[in-house]
Amino acid sequence: MNLHQRCAAIVFTLLTGLLALPASASPQTASGVGFASITIHDPVNGGTMPGYVFYPSTEPSKTTWRGPYELHATPDAKPIPGAKPLVVISHGHGGSDLGHHDLAVYLANHGFVVATLQHPKDNFKDASGDGHPEVMIGRPIQVKATISMLLADPHWKPLIDPKQIGVAGFSNGGYTSLLAVGAVPQFTRFISYCKAHPDDPNICGAARQLKAQAARHGQTLEQLMTSMQSDLHRWGNTDDPRIKAAFVMAPLSLIFDKAGVASINRPVFLYYGQDDHVLNPKYNVLHIAPSIQKLAGIKMIPKAGHYVFLSPCSPQLTKEAPDICIDPPGVDRAAVHRQIDADALTFFRKTLDIPVSH
């Protein structure tokens, strides 16, 4: 065999050897999504918060049930090594750490690590903190705590790029996401809103309860809101500079004035339903959009109500909670979520400066 033949034989051997390597040999070859439960210290209430981490895996995804949620991810599957962008998802009032599982799986299947958390006193098991500082101020602190835990944990830290962190949120979670990127609320705006819209049960029903609670302690509602405003930094700054971008769905945002929104200095994408009767777009998302300096986009879902942003419901969940699972005629939630997921991916890839190859 001459030199040319020997070189050709070596090249052939190397190529066939590479082709025979398992998929895991390539650091970005994901064939599925894994997920694992996490426990996060709650710096607001003490104790802990439950949550999940979704991540790219070389193991194929399988259907896994957690309560009424059908997850297309494999429990404790082996993660693909290497640092990846992180997105933290914050659920809405009375929600769950699995309420947006389809978005989490989709992003993980495209190279992201995605963390969810269940906010204490504002979830489907316990919503007793509605309108109180532990929720209205504490939520972004809990998002910050989730990021800090993951970046300190020896298992998760190697999988996360600390310079590529985003947040996504729905409803109260949208409000949370805005605070996490610099928005400043004005809690007395609740009072002025309810004076103008006393028949709004979703916002002003809670305000009436707070007014009664304040009266029992010898306070007016104005005094209670002013006190909460002075507590804005009780647990630290609600802004987290580690978070580079926010994907915000149907946010509670009537309590922001122009200055409170103009203080956001990172990209924001806004999404809302045309017929949202829980958080009227006119006084919420459309109220803040003109004042966001780095508005990356805003999109409306025709005919959709508030809860269209929750993951498409399983038959079991639809039976248990039809109000949040059944959409108006002409709204296909599965199709809507295909668009939401794709928009979130495009937004985070651009704002976190991620090559499409990820």
Report residue 30's pLDDT band, with 50, 70 and 90 as the boundaries: low
The pLDDT of residue 270 is above 50: yes
**pTM (predicted TM-score):** 0.90
pLDDT in the model for residue 304: 98
Give the rounded percent of residues in the chain with a pLDDT score beyond 90. Answer: 83
Which single residue is written with the structure tokens 């029992």?
Answer: 216
Write the pLDDT tens digit of every residue in 125-173: 999 998 899 999 999 999 999 999 999 999 999 999 999 999 999 999 9
The pLDDT of residue 328 is above 90: yes
Q: What does 117-137 look like in DSSP terms, one character per residue?
A: E--TTSBSS--TTTTSHHHHT
Write the pLDDT tens digit of every residue in 194-204: 999 999 988 98
**How far lies 18's CA from each of 13, 25, 29, 198, 357, in Å?**
9, 9, 14, 69, 20
The pLDDT of residue 107 is above 90: yes
Write the pLDDT tens digit of every residue in 201-258: 889 887 888 888 888 888 898 999 999 999 999 999 999 999 999 999 999 999 999 9
The pLDDT of residue 5 is above 70: no
The pLDDT of residue 95 is above 90: yes
Report residue 7's pLDDT band, with 50, 70 and 90 as the boundaries: very low
pLDDT in the model for residue 357: 56
**Range list of H helices, the chain:** 3-20, 101-109, 133-136, 138-152, 172-180, 189-196, 201-216, 221-230, 258-262, 285-288, 315-320, 322-325, 333-351
SS3 280: coil
pLDDT in the model for residue 76: 97
pLDDT in the model for residue 254: 97
Give the rounded percent of residues in the chain with a pLDDT score beyond 70. Answer: 91
pLDDT in the model for residue 11: 34
Residue ranges covered by each domain of the chain: 30-185+232-351
Q: What does 196-251 look like in DSSP terms, one character per residue?
A: H-TT-HHHHHHHHHHHHHHHHTT--HHHHHHHHHHTTTTTS-S--TTEEEEEEES-
Query: What gap in Å lies between CA 51 and CA 226, rounded to an integer?
Result: 32
pLDDT in the model for residue 212: 86
* Averaged pLDDT for residues 317-343: 97
Write the pLDDT tens digit of every residue in 8-22: 443 333 333 333 333
**Range list of H helices, 24-92:** none
Confirm if 87 and 117 have CB atoms less than 8 A apart: no
Query: What gap in Å lies between CA 216 and CA 206, rounded to an integer?
Result: 16
Instruction: Select 30-185+232-351's CATH number: 3.40.50.1820, 1.10.530.10, 3.40.50.620, 3.40.50.1970.
Output: 3.40.50.1820
Least confident of 8-12, 28-32, 212-216, 329-333: 8-12
Six-digit token string for 125: 């098991």
